[in-house]
């Protein structure tokens, strides 16, 4: 290269237009006494998982983990009551969002549509655009219901369902889920991140459909959000494609050991998870009742959190943060649901935890309302 060539100005590298337009995920992470903004297990982590982490051999961290998380693969299928002999496969990932991203990449060509009801998991339109696909948004009904016919009518390459849904916490009916699975034109991705809190689950449908991928996570009921472990189950052909798009070594060795321990029958393991999921449901209903007494109307919840439409959400969240309590304030929500329209597209999302923490939350909320 000549000196003259080196002196020629060169433009700076520019990211793709789809990347430049994406919002940066930046939740409120201010210091707090009570943080109910993330929908995680606020009782902590399974003792069996903590023991597994403490016992992990330090001399092995210089080696790669198992290529496709085989020990976890077997433990999860057993937990779900599924078997590889029936043609079902399983793929793990760095959280279930890793699996969702890989599934969109595996089955969608640039320009294809991903159909979903809005609002839903915030990363779905982001993954859609990032992979060159087009969001096909279907409105929710007046009572937060999802219209299966509208989803099917899109004839989308990928149809995304989330039940219980984030952020509304509402659940789809079995009839609606089965209709979409049976009639959708392309791949159906069913996100069951909050399955352990729900009155009904649909994982077994993968034995009846060759177009369904169900994703779940260890970040919610299992209390392992900091280790980022998720998975998807579906036909062997679907899972094989997602694994190819995902890449290897997505679950680190310590995370895999903790997840396998959480699924075991020993003390402080799966029984601990089930016990605290049940407790979360009980406290969820108690908290919803307390919020109604304060004049709010939470959506009917099937998760470990409440969705509370209110036009005052941003101001309430700021006031509670000043009092050491973090809740998630949501804005810009679609106006299809009358309660959300009346709230001008604003809502609070409040995670459920030990009642002592809920009392602190309610005390802070009452103070904020009194100052309004």
pLDDT for the residue 334:
97
Q: Which domains does the chain have, with CATH numbers?
A: 28-44+269-371 (3.90.1150.10), 47-262 (3.40.640.10)
One pLDDT digit (tens) per residue for the chain, 372 residues: 565 666 667 777 877 777 776 766 655 566 789 999 999 999 999 999 999 999 987 767 888 888 777 889 999 999 999 988 889 999 999 999 999 999 999 999 999 999 999 999 999 999 999 999 999 999 999 999 999 999 999 999 999 999 999 999 999 999 999 999 999 999 999 999 999 999 999 999 999 999 999 999 999 999 999 999 999 999 999 999 999 999 888 999 999 999 999 999 988 999 999 999 999 999 999 999 999 999 999 999 999 999 999 999 999 999 999 999 999 999 999 999 999 999 999 999 999 999 999 999 999 999 999 997
- Cβ-contact 212, 67 below 8 angstroms: no
């Amino acid at each position: 290269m000549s000196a003259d060539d080196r002196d020629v100005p060169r433009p700076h590298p520019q990211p793709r237009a789809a990347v430049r337009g994406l919002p940066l995920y930046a939740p409120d992470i201010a210091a707090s006494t009570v943080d109910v903004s993330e929908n995680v297990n606020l009782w902590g982590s399974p003792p069996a998982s903590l023991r597994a982490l403490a016992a992990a051999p330090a001399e092995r961290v210089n080696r790669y983990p198992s290529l496709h998380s085989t020990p976890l693969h077997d433990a999860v299928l057993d937990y779900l009551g599924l078997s590889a002999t029936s043609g079902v496969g399983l793929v793990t990932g760095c959280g279930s969002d890793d699996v969702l991203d890989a599934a969109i990449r595996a089955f969608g060509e640039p320009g294809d549509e991903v159909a979903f009801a809005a609002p839903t998991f915030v990363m779905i339109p982001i993954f859609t655009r990032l992979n060159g696909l087009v969001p096909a948004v279907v409105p929710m009904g007046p009572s937060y219901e999802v219209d299966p016919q509208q989803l099917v009518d899109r004839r989308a390459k990928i149809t995304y369902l989330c039940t219980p849904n984030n952020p509304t916490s509402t659940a789809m009916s079995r009839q609606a889920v089965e209709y979409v699975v049976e009639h959708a034109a392309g791949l159906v991705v069913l996100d069951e991140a909050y399955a352990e809190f729900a009155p009904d689950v649909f994982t077994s449908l993968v034995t009846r459909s060759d177009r369904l991928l169900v994703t779940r996570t260890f970040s919610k009921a299992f209390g392992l959000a900091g280790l980022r472990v998720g998975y998807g189950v579906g036909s062997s052909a679907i899972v094989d494609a997602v694994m190819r798009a995902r890449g290897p070594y997505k679950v680190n060795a310590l995370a895999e050991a903790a997840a396998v321990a959480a699924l075991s029958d020993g003390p402080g393991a799966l029984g601990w998870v089930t016990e605290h999921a049940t407790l979360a449901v009980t406290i969820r209903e108690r908290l919803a009742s307390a919020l109604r007494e304060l004049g709010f109307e939470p959506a009917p919840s099937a998760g470990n959190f409440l969705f509370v439409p209110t036009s005052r959400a941003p101001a309430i969240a700021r006031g509670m943060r000043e009092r050491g309590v973090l809740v998630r304030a949501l804005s810009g929500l679609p106006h299809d649901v009358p309660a959300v329209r009346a709230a001008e597209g604003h809502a609070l999302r409040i995670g459920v935890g030990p009642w002592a923490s809920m009392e602190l939350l309610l005390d802070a909320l009452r103070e904020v309302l009194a100052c309004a």
